Structure 1
Amino acid sequence: MKILQSILLLLLFVPLTKPAQSTQKNTDNFEEILFTRDYEDQYLDGKNIKKKESMMTSDEKSLQLQQDESSTSLPLKKENDEMPTCLLCVCLLGSVYCEEVDIVTVPPLPKESAYLYARFNKIKKLTAKDFAEIPNLRRLDFTGNLIEDIEDTTFSKLSLLEELTLAENQLLKLPVLPPKLTLFNAKYNKIKSKGIKANTFKKLSNLSFLYLDHNALESVPLNLPESLRVIHLQFNNITSITDDTFCKANDTHYIRNRIEEIRLEGNPIALGKHPNSFTCLKILPIGPYF
């Protein structure tokens, strides 16, 4: 009888214990799952943090590289700063280039400017104010503009000016020229003899090259300096010359040693009718003799 009671108790106990074991197992699994998820979350977060850190590091490196590049490019910028620009012109090592930019007046120039090239623009007038504060100018080139008038004092302060080119403009007369000129070019204008004063070239003791061809001159300019080597007067309206034009009528021993070329072709003059006009020259002028 006791045995039966024990068996019955055992049968009753077994079903109760099994679910308890299953529940404990499920609980353990649940805790494992939570632990695993928590671990994975932490692990992945750690990876993400590392990834973010690596991204930040990469961005910082990129920023550092950009800073390094900008720091290494500073000298280049400094070099560019040494080559300033003047509005529409380019200034480089004392030279100013204002060619074919349609300017109508002389632009403001750096005080250290020595050479100005303002060719093929629309400048109509030159004034003393244009160069008042630019005393170091040595060369001016205004070829191909529309210059009709130049104030007499325009070049008065340019004591160092050596070359002045006014070719292909609309000039009717010449201004006072600076004393140290070695080259003066005013070809292809509308200059008449009355537009050149008697003493315009007299004191230019360094002048070597004079180009006044393709104008409207009726005579050769007076008082041409001894320093001249080349004189271009072709294609004007010159009809006569005198014994004093190139030589000295009262000095038969006078010789012009420096003259290398005189061009008078294209003028309505027969050079053969004026033989005494060339006795001081080592070469005869180029032009019609009959």
Structure 2
Amino acid sequence: MTMLQSVLLLLLSVPLIKLAPPAQQDPRITYHYGTDHSEETLFSQDSEDKYLDRKNIKEKETVILPDEKSVQLQKDESVTPPSPKKESDEMPTCLLCVCLSGSVYCEEVDIDAVPPLPKESAYLYARFNKIKKLTAKDFADIPNLRRLDFTGNLIEDIEDGTFSKLSLLEELTLAENQLLKLPVLPPKLTLFNAKYNKIKSRGIKANTFKKLNNLSFLYLDHNALESVPLNLPESLRVIHLQFNNITSITDDTFCKANDTRYIRDRIEEIRLEGNPIILGKHPNSFICLKRLPVGSYF
């Protein structure tokens, strides 16, 4: 081989050697690897975002559902009336007054009439109100009443049949009102209190107290009586008639003029002070009593 042939052979082999490195670093392979990795990253990120979105939606739904149920329950509760309302419909007075074990306390609540009472009521305290009248309808359906107290009202009139059905009534207090006369009283009264009214003698019928065989306490002080009421029952223990306009009494007022042996031993106290009467002028009027009446004798 000549020198020329060797040089040509060398020149031909050089390009082949230089072209080999580019063939080892194919740019397409690098591009495809990079593209595949980025798409995988984007896919995984998108999947994670969607997963989180779905998770958030589920969490919101789980939170919302109980709220909707609770709201529905609240609506149901607001629509359904509570049980006490039924009781209050049956006993409306107990919303204004205090009802306790058969006793009704309606004191200082500014009522102007007797309120509807529970049928089992035994005691009514309606003191210091603005009641002006008592009627038969007020107690028609309350037969178990044993005590009524209307102290400090404005009562001017009481129908005669008001207490006719109260066969168990034992105590009746009408003190500090505007009464001019007395109604028919129930037969089993043990106490009757009508002090501080405007009652005159003509406002008390002759037989008002005659049949009250259980009456022990009678309070008619601070009225406008001109005489002691007639036919006072034998059962009386205390009689208060002080501060009226009583000017005279007779031998039959407390005793029996035709029976000198008669003794009225149950009476413990009679008060007549504050009346325009000199008790010392009527000595025979107290002959049947164990104690003299309280009042002026001179």
- Range into which the TM-score falls when normalised by the shorter chain: 0.7 to 0.9
* Greater Rg by CA: 2
Does residue 18 of structure 2 align to residue 34 of structure 1?
no
Partner amino acid for 1:268? Answer: P
Q: How does 1:3-14 map to 2 (within 5 A)?
A: 3-14=13-24
Cα displacement string for residues 2-21 of structure 1 (whole angstroms, at most 9, x for unaligned residues) = 53242243244355x13531
| Aligned-residue offset at 1:25 | 2.4
Does residue 144 of structure 2 align to residue 125 of structure 1?
no
Q: CA RMSD in A?
A: 3.0
CA distance in 1 between partners of 2:282 and 2:17 (Å)? 164
SS in 2 for 1:137: coil
CA distance in 2 between partners of 1:53 and 1:124 (Å)? 66
Partner amino acid for 1:38? Answer: S
Does residue 252 of structure 2 align to residue 244 of structure 1?
yes
Q: How does 1:1-290 map to 2 (within 5 A)?
A: 1=9, 3-14=13-24, 17-39=26-48, 41-42=50-51, 44-45=52-53, 48=56, 51-52=59-60, 55=63, 81=87, 84-86=91-93, 88-290=96-298
Work out whether residues 84 and 92 of structure 1, in 8 Å CA contact, stay in contact via their aligned partners in 2: no
Partner amino acid for 2:231? Answer: N
TM-score with structure 2 length normalisation? 0.82
CA distance in 2 between partners of 1:247 and 1:99 (Å)? 41
Percent same amino acid among aligned pairs?
74
| Aligned-residue offset at 1:93 | 2.6
CA distance in 1 between partners of 2:156 and 2:48 (Å)? 93
CA distance in 1 between partners of 2:48 and 2:112 (Å)? 81
| Aligned-residue offset at 1:39 | 3.3
TM-score with structure 1 length normalisation? 0.84
CA distance in 2 between partners of 1:190 and 1:224 (Å)? 20
Give the 3 Å change call, closer, same or farther, for CA 154–84 of structure 1 in structure 2: closer
Cα displacement string for residues 62-111 of structure 1 (whole angstroms, at most 9, x for unaligned residues) = 96xx99xx9xxxxx967x94994416434333222222222222222222
| Aligned-residue offset at 1:251 | 1.8
Work out whether residues 85 and 91 of structure 1, in 8 Å CA contact, stay in contact via their aligned partners in 2: no
Work out whether residues 91 and 118 of structure 2, in 8 Å CA contact, stay in contact via their aligned partners in 1: no
CA distance in 1 between partners of 2:265 and 2:17 (Å)? 154
| Aligned-residue offset at 1:218 | 0.8
Work out whether residues 92 and 116 of structure 2, in 8 Å CA contact, stay in contact via their aligned partners in 1: no
| Aligned-residue offset at 1:22 | 3.9
Paired positions, count = 278
Cα displacement string for residues 145-173 of structure 1 (whole angstroms, at most 9, x for unaligned residues) = 11111111211111111111111111111
CA distance in 1 between partners of 2:147 and 2:221 (Å)? 21
CA distance in 2 between partners of 1:278 and 1:267 (Å)? 17
SS in 2 for 1:34: helix
